[in-house]
C-alpha cells in the first residue's frame, strides 16, 4: 500500500458529489501545510451552494517559474446504486482495478499530484520557483464559483503563473498515451423562430415556423465553419434540442425553439460564428432571435517547456511516445489559460469516467505519481 494509494482511498471514501467537498481539500491542505505550503481556503457562492476552493503555494525563495497542479475534488452523482457492483464510496478492488466514484475523474490524479509534490519538496527543498495547487469542488457542476473565481482572485492580486497541469483523465488506452494541450471553445445558442399559430386544416391562415426554419437549419448543418489547424479539428455545429407545438396534433405551432452548440477551434472566433449564423437566418427571412452563452474560449499550448517536460516524463516512466490532442469537452483549463501561458491536461485512462463502476487500474497509480514528480524535477530542479 503506497502513500498514493492510501490517499486515493481516503479521498474516495468522501461522498463529494458536486458542489460538496466533504473534507477532501482540508485533508490535502493539512498534508501540504506540513511541507511548508501556504494554504488559502477560498469559498465562493451562496451558503446553500457553497463551493470550496484551495490555493496552496510552496515558495523556496529561489527565483524560477510557478508550476501549478490543478484539479477538482467534486464528483458526479453515482446514478442508480443498484447497478453498481460495489458501493461507490467504498474503495473496492477487483481484477487489478480500484473501483469508486471519482477513481478516474479525478481523485487518483489529485492524490498523485499531492504525493508527487511531497516527494519532490522533501528531496529538493531549495527547488527553484514555486509549486502551487488550485483545487475546486465546482468542476462537475455549473463551474461559476470554482476555478474561474479563484483565477479572478489571483488576477486581482497580480499572481503570475507559468505552467499548469490539470489532472483530467486524458489517457485513452493506457496511461500516458495522450496529453491534452488545448481544448476547443464552447458556444451555445437558443434560437427562437416566430410564426403564426393556427389550425392545420387552414395553413393559409397560419405561418409554420418549423417549415420556415427547416431550410436555414439544413444550411447551418452543412456549413464548413473552418478547416481547423495543426492542433485543432474543424469547428462543428450541432443541434441538441428542438421544440415546437402545443402537444395537439391539429395545431400549427406559433414558435420554434432550437438549442445548438458550436465546439470551435482557434481558427474561429465567437463573434465571427455569431455573425455567420445571423446572416443565414436573415437570408431566409426569418423572424428570429438567438440567446447566446459562451461556455469557454479555446486554448492551446504549443510544444514548449511544459509539454516537453511532461512528454519526457511519460516516456521515462512508461516508454510511450505520447500524443498531443485537443479533442473532448471543456475543462477548467479554459479559465486557467487566461492567466497562464502553458496549460495542459494529463491523467489516467478515461474509459469509465461518469459511468457505473468507475475505476482506475491499480498498476497505473504509482506511475502517474512518478510522471508528475518527474515533471516537477525537470521544471524546478536547480541547474
Nearest-Å Rg of the Cα atoms of the chain is: 24
- Residue 208: C-alpha distances to residues 42, 197, 200, 239 (Å): 52, 7, 9, 20
Residue partners of 153: CB distance under 8 A and separation at least 6: 42, 55
d(CA 301, CA 324): 10
Instruction: Indicate if 363 belongs to the active site.
Output: no
Count the neighbouring beta carbons within 10 Å of the beta carbon of residue 313. 24
Q: Which grid coordinates belong to 31?
A: 498534508
- Residue 216: C-alpha distances to residues 167, 212, 219 (Å): 41, 8, 5
Three-point CA angle 298, 269, 289, nearest 5°: 115
- Is 140 annotated among the ligand-binding residues? yes
Query: Pick the catalytic residue: 21, 138, 139, 297?
Result: 139
d(CA 369, CA 366): 5
Instruction: Indicate if 52 belongs to the active site.
Output: no
Helix ranges, 181-224 (H)? 209-222
Count the neighbouring beta carbons within 10 Å of the beta carbon of residue 262. 24
- Is 226 annotated among the ligand-binding residues? no
- Is 354 annotated among the ligand-binding residues? yes
Residue 247, sorted as left (phi over 0), alpha (psi -120 to 50) or beta, turns out to be left
Query: Pick the catalytic residue: 74, 332, 345, 358?
Result: 74
Binding site, annotated residues for Zn(2+): 72, 105, 140, 168, 354
Active site residues: 74, 139
Binding site, annotated residues: 72, 105, 140, 168, 354
Amino acid at each position: 500500500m503506497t502513500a498514493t494509494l492510501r490517499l486515493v482511498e481516503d479521498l474516495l471514501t468522501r461522498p463529494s458529489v458536486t458542489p460538496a467537498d466533504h473534507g477532501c481539500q482540508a485533508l490535502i491542505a493539512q498534508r501540504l501545510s506540513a511541507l511548508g505550503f501556504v494554504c488559502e481556503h477560498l469559498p465562493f457562492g451562496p451558503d446553500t451552494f457553497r463551493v470550496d476552493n484551495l490555493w496552496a503555494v510552496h515558495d523556496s525563495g529561489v527565483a524560477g517559474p510557478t508550476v501549478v497542479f490543478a484539479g477538482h475534488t467534486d464528483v458526479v452523482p453515482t446514478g442508480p446504486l443498484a447497478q453498481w457492483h460495489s458501493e461507490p464510496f467504498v474503495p473496492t478492488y477487483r481484477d487489478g482495478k480500484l473501483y469508486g466514484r471519482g477513481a478516474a475523474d479525478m481523485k487518483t490524479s489529485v492524490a498523485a499530484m499531492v504525493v508527487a509534490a511531497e516527494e519532490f519538496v522533501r528531496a529538493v527543498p531549495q527547488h527553484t520557483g514555486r509549486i502551487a495547487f488550485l483545487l475546486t469542488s465546482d468542476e462537475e457542476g455549473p463551474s461559476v464559483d470554482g476555478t474561474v473565481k479563484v483565477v479572478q482572485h489571483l488576477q486581482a492580486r497580480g499572481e503570475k503563473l507559468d505552467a499548469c497541469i490539470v489532472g483530467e483523465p486524458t489517457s485513452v488506452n493506457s496511461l500516458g498515451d495522450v496529453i491534452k494541450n488545448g481544448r476547443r471553445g464552447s458556444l451555445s445558442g437558443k434560437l427562437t423562430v416566430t410564426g403564426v399559430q393556427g389550425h392545420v386544416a387552414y395553413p393559409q391562415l397560419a405561418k409554420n415556423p418549423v417549415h420556415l426554419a427547416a431550410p436555414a437549419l439544413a444550411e447551418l448543418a452543412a456549413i464548413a465553419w473552418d478547416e481547423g489547424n495543426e492542433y485543432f479539428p474543424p469547428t462543428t455545429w450541432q443541434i441538441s434540442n428542438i421544440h415546437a407545438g402545443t402537444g395537439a396534433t391539429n395545431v400549427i405551432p406559433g414558435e420554434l425553439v432550437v438549442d445548438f452548440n458550436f465546439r470551435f477551434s482557434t481558427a474561429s472566433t465567437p463573434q465571427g460564428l455569431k455573425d455567420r449564423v445571423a446572416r443565414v437566418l436573415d437570408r431566409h427571412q426569418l423572424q428570429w432571435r438567438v440567446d447566446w452563452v459562451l461556455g469557454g474560449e479555446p486554448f492551446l499550448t504549443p510544444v514548449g517547456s511544459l509539454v516537453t517536460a511532461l512528454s519526457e516524463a511519460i516516456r521515462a516512466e512508461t516508454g510511450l511516445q505520447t500524443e498531443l490532442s485537443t479533442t473532448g469537452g471543456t475543462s477548467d483549463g479554459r479559465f486557467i489559460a487566461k492567466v497562464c501561458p502553458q496549460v495542459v491536461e494529463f491523467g489516467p485512462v478515461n474509459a469509465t469516467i461518469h459511468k457505473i463502476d468507475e475505476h482506475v487500474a491499480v498498476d497505473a497509480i504509482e506511475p502517474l505519481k512518478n510522471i508528475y514528480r518527474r515533471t516537477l524535477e525537470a521544471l524546478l530542479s536547480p541547474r
